[in-house]
Amino acid sequence: MTLTTPSSSAPARIATKRTVLMCRPNYFTVVYRINPWMDPQLPTDTALAVSQWEVLYRTYLDLGFDVHLIDPIQGLPDMVYAANGGFVIDNIAYGASFTYPERQPEGPAYMDWFREAGFDVRLPENVNEGEGDFLLVGNRILAGTGFRSASNSHEEIASIYNREVVTLNLVNPSFYHLDTAIAVLDDTNIAYLESAFDEESLVKLRALFPDAILATEEDAAVLGLNSYSDGYNVVIASRAKDFERQLRERGYNPIGVDLSELLLGGGGVKCCTLELRR
């Protein structure tokens, strides 16, 4: 883990201990294609995926996170992308209902884990893919639609959590989940890729976050925005160099990790990380 020195003129950032759920990629491979990143013709290395994932896992432990693990299930190679398994606020776990049949068994598996861990589980009535498309920023929920989560799931989470939900329309199939196009940095700040959204959504983002970091296409192409922050430390793709620079200038501490093998399945740091909010 590499620590960097923030700009002296940047505001002070405060790290807050996080509790997260992860799933070791013991069965990771690419045998079907449900997003533009996946190609079953390309070889995958499960051992390498596990090794890279272990670096992320140890990074979180070094940062003092409380890390819980769900057991991987053979035949569910995408279960490593824990963020898609649900959305958890105020001890309420809203379960996932996946778009593609290949991933649909993950929803019940994650809901079983939530129940056993003592969360109030809400069965989804609408198609949604958890924190892949729902991001909490302060008391506001940013909600993505266009490729995976149905827009009526936005109404559902608004009623469950009694919070403002802002619908954002994704238009680039390479950024099919909201967490590939937006990084939440703290309760008031985000980074995002402008070309991932339609104009109506950009108007909302510019009004809500006028000082947001705007990511480059190059950094987004290595899922640099698929990152996870504790308010000060931001774990990102090690190849997202301009994003790293911008974070440092804003007073954050970027920590680069290499998840290139898991990128073959269309996931990065945030995809592997589901936040548990009691």
State the average pLDDT for the chain: 96
Asked if the model's pLDDT at residue 195 lies above 70, the reply is: yes
Q: What is the per-residue pLDDT across 63-93, written as a single tens digit (0 to 9) for each? A: 999 999 999 999 999 999 999 999 999 999 9
Q: Which residues are catalytic?
A: 177, 271
- Of residues 92, 29, 21, the one with CA closest to residue 272: 21
pTM as predicted = 0.95
What is the domain extent for residue 124?
19-275
In a domain, 237, yes or no: yes
Show Cβ contacts of residue 94 under 8 Å, excluding neighbours closer than 6 positions.
86, 87, 88, 122, 124, 128, 130, 134, 156, 157, 160, 161
Asked if the model's pLDDT at residue 5 lies above 80, the reply is: no
160 vs 219: CA distance, rounded Å: 35
Residues 94, 120: contact at Cβ < 8 Å?
no
Structure tokens at 75: 């035949």
Mean pLDDT of 48-73: 98
Residues 262, 35: contact at Cβ < 8 Å?
no
Q: What is the pLDDT of residue 2?
A: 46
Q: What is the pLDDT of residue 9?
A: 72
pLDDT > 90 fraction of the chain, expressed in percent and rounded: 94
In a domain, 70, yes or no: yes
268 vs 183: CA distance, rounded Å: 12
Q: Is the dihedral of CA 161, 166, 170, 171 positive or negative?
A: positive
In a domain, 11, yes or no: no
In a domain, 256, yes or no: yes
In a domain, 7, yes or no: no
Region for residue 31 given its phi and psi (left: phi exceeds 0; alpha: psi -120 to 50; beta: otherwise): alpha
Q: What is the per-residue pLDDT across 231-266, written as a single tens digit (0 to 9) for each? A: 999 999 999 999 999 999 999 999 999 999 999 999
In a domain, 48, yes or no: yes
Asked if the model's pLDDT at residue 4 lies above 70, the reply is: no
- Of residues 128, 78, 90, 105, the one with CA closest to residue 266: 78
- Of residues 66, 114, 105, 68, the one with CA closest to residue 87: 114
Q: What is the CATH number of the domain that holds 188?
A: 3.75.10.10
In this predicted structure, which of 25-34, 46-55, 186-195 has the lowest mean pLDDT?
Answer: 25-34
Q: What is the pLDDT of residue 191?
A: 98
Q: What is the pLDDT of residue 7?
A: 54
Q: What is the per-residue pLDDT across 34-47, written as a single tens digit (0 to 9) for each? A: 888 899 999 999 99
Asked if the model's pLDDT at residue 194 lies above 90, the reply is: yes
In a domain, 200, yes or no: yes
Asked if the model's pLDDT at residue 3 lies above 70, the reply is: no
In a domain, 13, yes or no: no
- Number of domains within the chain: 1
